[in-house]
Amino acid sequence: MENKKSYECMIVVDAKLTEAKREELIAKFKKMAGEQTTVEKLGQKKYGFYYLLNFSATPDVPAKMTALMNITEGIDRHLFIAKTDVMLAQDVIRKQNRAKAREEYLAKKEKEMREKESKEVKEGE
C-alpha cells in the first residue's frame, strides 16, 4: 500500500519567460505531482513569478521533482514542505474562514443593493 503524504511546493519561475512558457513549466510539474494537485498563482514578486502547488504523493515524488527542477531552465527557486496534521488542519480552517468572509461580503453587497433599490423607489414616488 502506498504511503502518501501531503506536500506543498513553492516554485519561483523566471520573470523573463513568456506566460505560455511559465504555464508549460508549471503544468509539467503539476502532472508529475499527480491528479489531485492544486496550483495557486501568487503573482509576480521581487524574484519572479510565484506558484504554490499542494499535492499528496509518496516520498519519492518530491525527490524526483527536485532533481528535475534543479536542471530545468526557468525554475529559479523551489522549496518542498511535507505538511503535518497541524498544517492540514490549519488549511481547513483557512478555507472555512475564506468561505465565511465571502458569504459575509456577498450578504453585505446584497443588503446594499436592496437599500439602493428601496431608496430609488422612494425617490420615484
Q: From CA 72, how far away is CA 12, in angstroms rounded?
A: 12
Q: From CA 7, how far away is CA 84, in angstroms rounded?
A: 9
Q: What is the mean pLDDT of residues 103-120?
A: 89
Report field, pTM of the whole predicted structure over 0.85: no
Cβ atoms of residues 57 and 33 within 8 Å: yes
Q: What is the mean pLDDT of residues 60-83?
A: 91
